[in-house]
Structure 1
Amino acid sequence: MSTHPARSLSRVLEDFGPTLLDLVHGDPVAAGELGGVGIHDPYDEQHHPERAVVLGVGVHGTEEICRLLRELAGAGAAALVVRGPTDADAAAAAEFEAVAAETGIVLLALTRGASWAQLAAMLRTLLSEGDVGGAGEQTLGGVPSGDLFALANAIATLLDAPITIEDRRSRILAFSGRQDEADPPRVESILARRVPERYLRIHEEHGVFEKLYRSEQPVHIPPPALGDEVALPRMAIAVRAGDEILGSVWAALRKPLTPEREEAFKEAAKLVALHMLRFRAGADAENRLRADLVTTALEGGSGAVEALGRLGLADEPVVVLAMGLEPAADGDHAQLTAERQRLTTALAVHLTAVQPRSAVALLGDVAYALFPVPDDATAARERAVRVAANFLERTGDRAGAVVGIGSVAAEPAALARSRTNADRALRVLSGGRGAGRVAAIGDVYVDALLIEMRDLAVANRDEPSGPLARLVAYDRRHNAHLVETLRAWLDAFGDVIAASASVFVHPNTFRYRIRRVAEVGQLDLRDPSARFAAMLELRLMGLYDQG
């Protein structure tokens, strides 16, 4: 079992190197606790987590690498990963060493042939341990609960052989160190995170999986004969939970296991099953826990500070995003619910890729997100709008999703207000009054006020009165179009020519009608207050939405 914390760079190198990562320069121990994973993009604004491992995809050459190291020092990054091998001459090595010492950032190299996507996924899996949950760390068999990499290393020590833990589809869930002692097929499996297809076919032809899943004992598997490829023999055992097969554990052997080690392998498989079950159950439990924490934080009460702390959001400004779906006229409730859940999951993936400390939960019919933002309110609003718009562009408009963005909450007590404002912006968009599919409350504030004023009038059972009520009544009796005339005249700022053209009547006819508006409505159109009152009442009565 590793003595290094799961969120440390030393643990990353212990689990992934030298199969995936090589240390070029820097001190992993001094890197401290890692804050997450970031991907460098030279064409976009960078917002990496504090103490991030940054993946320098497409970064090559001594000059470019050193320049990026200096940039990341200002962003508080812990490590930079570039594609290996790096420049091997003495001058390049000396420059790397000097810049690593200057910036304090550890430089790592990703093995040629390894996938950036797989490295990012494995790093996030390793670094996510303990992100949300209780204060104490749970263990199973002396290994942190759900930490399959630590368990693989423990089994490798027991058997004195490199280990992989695989699921039912032969995908690599975790692997031990010492993979360099295995064979090329094992290294290829680690790099691709799954067993090569050609070996799977050989195992299926020889009935390896059938024998493996029928037996409760370790199964000896001779090295497959495949051209000139050299492979070691394997020993594998199925991982069971009752009658359910969860996966398997594979050891690459240079010498046969003793009976004692075979028995230890059998017992280890039971422990693997417990960890896999805890990991699987923990995913659902964590989702429920995150939803509870998001709900508590949004209420803004005494528990908000603790909830934000457990979500890792206690010390930075946050903005609330509210995503809603417009139900289709012929859509059934089950389909709409499934679509909400699908989009909520997609939103969580999108936001955590942009800002790993984001938290998303579906509460009723609305998906709420807590999204960390910069201190500057304008920059925060622009960033939130840009990220939400990008998400909706990626998901398409088939679902009819819209996103309202609240005000910036600089402290936990302000989160409830941010949620209220996100709901207000969402309601404007859902009512079709917004110009797009994303709106911040600052951009639709007046529309939100008008909706709330209309709600207040309905709640008070107010009846229309005054000039506009008289015009509406007159139009109903005489089909006179006086309300339409007033609306056109106000929209044109009193320009009769423009107003008459907008309603397709002769200017003289329009002049006659606007005089009738003043007479019938008893409305002084020369009075700015009267004009404003008429415009406001038109909005509140929804008459601007008509023909």
Structure 2
Amino acid sequence: MTAASLGSGPGDGVSSGVTLREILAQDEDGILHLVLAPSGQDDTVVHGVIIGEEDAARPYAGHLVLAAGLRPDAVSAPDMVREAARRGAVAVVLRSGGGDSMPEPVLAAARESGIALLSRAEWAEWGDTLELVRSALAFGAVGSQDSLAEGAAGGGLAVLASVVARYCRASITVEDTQFRVLAHSATSADADGLRQSTILGGRVPEWRVAELRRSGLLRALWSSRDVIHRPADETDPERLVVAIRSGGEVLGSIWAAADGGQLSPDAAQVLRRAAEIAVPYLLQHRLRGSTSRRRQAHALRGLLLGEGDRHSHMWSLELAPDVPCAVVVAERDRASGPAAVRTLQALALQAAAHRATVRVWRESHRLTVLLPVPDGDERDAPHLARELDSLAAAMPDAPAVWVGAGTLAVSPSGAADSYDEALLVVRALREREARAVRPGSSGSTGGRAEQQGPIRHAGPGDVRQTVAVLRVLDAIRPLWERYGGPVQEMVTTDLAAGGELVRSLTAYLDAAGDMSRAAQRLVLHPNTLRYRLRRVRERFGIDLDDPDTRLVVTLAVRLAGSDAPDHHEYEGF
């Protein structure tokens, strides 16, 4: 198992620990839920965190244990809690069991052992919990024992930047490792153009990053623990920069520019201390970004699948309870290659650009878009479906992508119905395309749709009858699988042998019994098709002249050619 002891502070100091109350106070996203704390939140002091289970020789003194991989209802869960307490742990975090309560055997074990017990939110990951505890421990390590830390305490990165600017007599920017500006001090009117463009754009310009990379400054910044000096030149003022580190991990950097003056003599020392103070704030910033995306992804999935509390999901997604919504689904060909991932990513960006309130759920083979439509225009979702189809068709080496729009719901609470319909529209498009060109055919039936290419986007009204048929097929599938009889035997046996008879029956039924047209579609002589249908009668005792039999066979071949609703492969935003 893996263990991570995080008792050390952002610099070289050692954390004196943080209370359970302080950890929970940092938890603005609701990652953790306190189940019980026998010693009280203020007397439960955490000095580090351990993930998983170490060998019996390693003590857990003062640590919070993340029980990764262990369900709270597992038989071994109570024993794990007792063992953690025996080895000195002060708290254990178990994953949520999907409800609000913890199993009584686990509760009893925690009470008996005197150890605090917490549960991790269902939408969160263990990495979120680790980041939360790291952030709290880093805040504890920073402390407020000097004037710089005291001045920035509780104010966030913006206050820290202002305080550091005053001490250094400089303009300050705090950036992440992607050179995005997280905070900055006030900008004077005579600030250099680079600083102004960086702050206005929210990130360092690409040309500047390339220049820093070529000069070797970035390599020095990411590998050095000291403050790096960049002298003034004809266009830029004197600058100091230091990396913000948590242990061996680089989180970002602090830049100080001597705009219109000189840096203070102790500016390097101030920046070095500022980098230590900034650690918990950057950990907190990163945690908020990742948890916000994950919480929204969990809420979107729950809203569309009809799981959990719809009002809570709408709140997490920041959706007004009365805004009309529609769902658009884009599904790629599963047999496609590496370009498939890039295609869905591009479609997700296009959908997000359609409207700021759009929410996206991406799976391995499918993109689902929840589209709020404030003006209630029913054409909006089909319009987005057409946009996504056009983008997929224009991308080089892109796989086939089918895009379906569901009916506009009067509020987000009806999004699940729109989602179900969008999935059916996609299935209808795929089925129509598959039935239009059969294996072994010439590839065309001479219809206008085939001449123009396959239609791969639609709204519910465009494929209404096929969607109705799919609903019927889904409803009768369980009955068919249980009571199929000789027709089911024929279909199962033939599909195992390659499906020649099923394809022949499908073409014959699609042609309404016209032997010549069905044979032409299969690129066969009519006598060959007659021979195959005769085999169906002789081998399986199926009489196609009987209308009830024809109905059952029609349903059977449609069931054989129609995919059942599949399971979801969740990947999140």
Query: The TM-score by the shorter chain falls in which range?
Result: 0.5 to 0.7
Residue 193 of structure 1 pairs with residue 209 of structure 2: no
Q: Deviations over 1:467-493 (max 9, x none)?
A: x99xx9xxxxxx9x996896476377x
In the alignment, which of 456, 466, 471 is matched to residue 437 of structure 1? 456
User: What corresponds to 2:224 in structure 1?
Assistant: 214
User: What corresponds to 1:316 in structure 2?
Assistant: 323
> How much does 1:304 deviate?
0.8
User: What corresponds to 1:406 in structure 2?
Assistant: 406
User: What corresponds to 2:297 in structure 1?
Assistant: 291
Q: Secondary structure at the match of 1:290?
A: helix
- Call closer, same or farther: CA 1:388–1:540 in 2, change over 3 Å: farther
- Call closer, same or farther: CA 1:501–1:170 in 2, change over 3 Å: closer
- Call closer, same or farther: CA 1:453–1:169 in 2, change over 3 Å: closer
> How much does 1:354 deviate?
0.9
User: What corresponds to 1:162 in structure 2?
Assistant: 171
Spell out the pairing of 1:366-515 with structure 2 (5 A cutoff).
366-373=366-373, 376=376, 378-393=378-393, 395=395, 398-429=398-429, 431=431, 432-433=433-434, 435-442=454-461, 443=463, 444-449=466-471, 451-452=473-474, 455-463=477-485, 487=509, 490=512
Query: Match for 1:463: what amino acid?
Result: G
- Call closer, same or farther: CA 1:157–1:243 in 2, change over 3 Å: same
- Call closer, same or farther: CA 1:247–1:176 in 2, change over 3 Å: same
Q: Secondary structure at the match of 1:267?
A: helix
Matched length: 365
Query: TM-score under structure 1 normalisation?
Result: 0.52
- Call closer, same or farther: CA 1:461–1:366 in 2, change over 3 Å: farther
> How much does 1:392 deviate?
2.7
In the alignment, which of 254, 260, 272 is matched to residue 266 of structure 1? 272
Q: Secondary structure at the match of 1:181?
A: coil
- Call closer, same or farther: CA 1:203–1:255 in 2, change over 3 Å: farther
Q: Secondary structure at the match of 1:305?
A: helix
Q: Deviations over 1:341-377 (max 9, x none)?
A: x665544422221112122234686543322235657
> How much does 1:197 deviate?
6.6
Tell whether the 8 Å contact from 1:163 to 1:250 is kept in structure 2 after alignment: yes
Query: Match for 2:295: what amino acid?
Result: L
> Which stretches in structure 1 are left out of the alignment for 5+ residues?
1-137, 473-478, 525-529
User: What corresponds to 1:113 in structure 2?
Assistant: none
- Call closer, same or farther: CA 1:488–1:151 in 2, change over 3 Å: same
Q: Secondary structure at the match of 2:393?
A: helix
Whole-Å Cα distance in 2 between the matches of residues 460 and 208 of structure 1?
A: 67
Query: TM-score under structure 2 normalisation?
Result: 0.50
Q: Secondary structure at the match of 1:368?
A: strand
Query: Match for 2:405: what amino acid?
Result: I
> How much does 1:422 deviate?
2.8
Whole-Å Cα distance in 1 between the matches of residues 155 and 552 of structure 2?
A: 63
Whole-Å Cα distance in 1 between the matches of residues 516 and 210 of structure 2?
A: 79
Tell whether the 8 Å contact from 2:328 to 2:419 is kept in structure 1 after alignment: yes
User: What corresponds to 2:62 in structure 1?
Assistant: none
Moved more, 427-436 or 293-302: 427-436
Tell whether the 8 Å contact from 2:329 to 2:367 is kept in structure 1 after alignment: yes
Q: Secondary structure at the match of 2:483?
A: coil
- Call closer, same or farther: CA 1:504–1:439 in 2, change over 3 Å: same
User: What corresponds to 1:16 in structure 2?
Assistant: none
Q: Deviations over 1:24-68 (max 9, x none)?
A: xxxxxxxxxxxxxxxxxxxxxxxxxxxxxxxxxxxxxxxxxxxxx
**% same residue:** 23
- Call closer, same or farther: CA 1:380–1:326 in 2, change over 3 Å: same
What's the RMSD between the two structures over aligned residues?
A: 5.0
User: What corresponds to 1:30 in structure 2?
Assistant: none
Whole-Å Cα distance in 1 between the matches of residues 210 and 510 of structure 2?
A: 74
> How much does 1:313 deviate?
1.9
In the alignment, which of 244, 251, 258 is matched to residue 246 of structure 1? 251
Q: Secondary structure at the match of 2:291?
A: helix
Query: Match for 2:289: what amino acid?
Result: A
Tell whether the 8 Å contact from 2:343 to 2:392 is kept in structure 1 after alignment: no
Whole-Å Cα distance in 2 between the matches of residues 143 and 248 of structure 1?
A: 20
- Call closer, same or farther: CA 1:498–1:461 in 2, change over 3 Å: closer
> How much does 1:250 deviate?
1.6
Query: Match for 2:165: what amino acid?
Result: A
Query: Match for 1:196: what amino acid?
Result: R
- Call closer, same or farther: CA 1:463–1:157 in 2, change over 3 Å: farther
Moved more, 186-195 or 233-242: 186-195
- Call closer, same or farther: CA 1:463–1:536 in 2, change over 3 Å: closer
> How much does 1:293 deviate?
0.9
Whole-Å Cα distance in 1 between the matches of residues 428 and 460 of structure 2?
A: 9
User: What corresponds to 1:125 in structure 2?
Assistant: none
Query: Match for 2:249: what amino acid?
Result: E
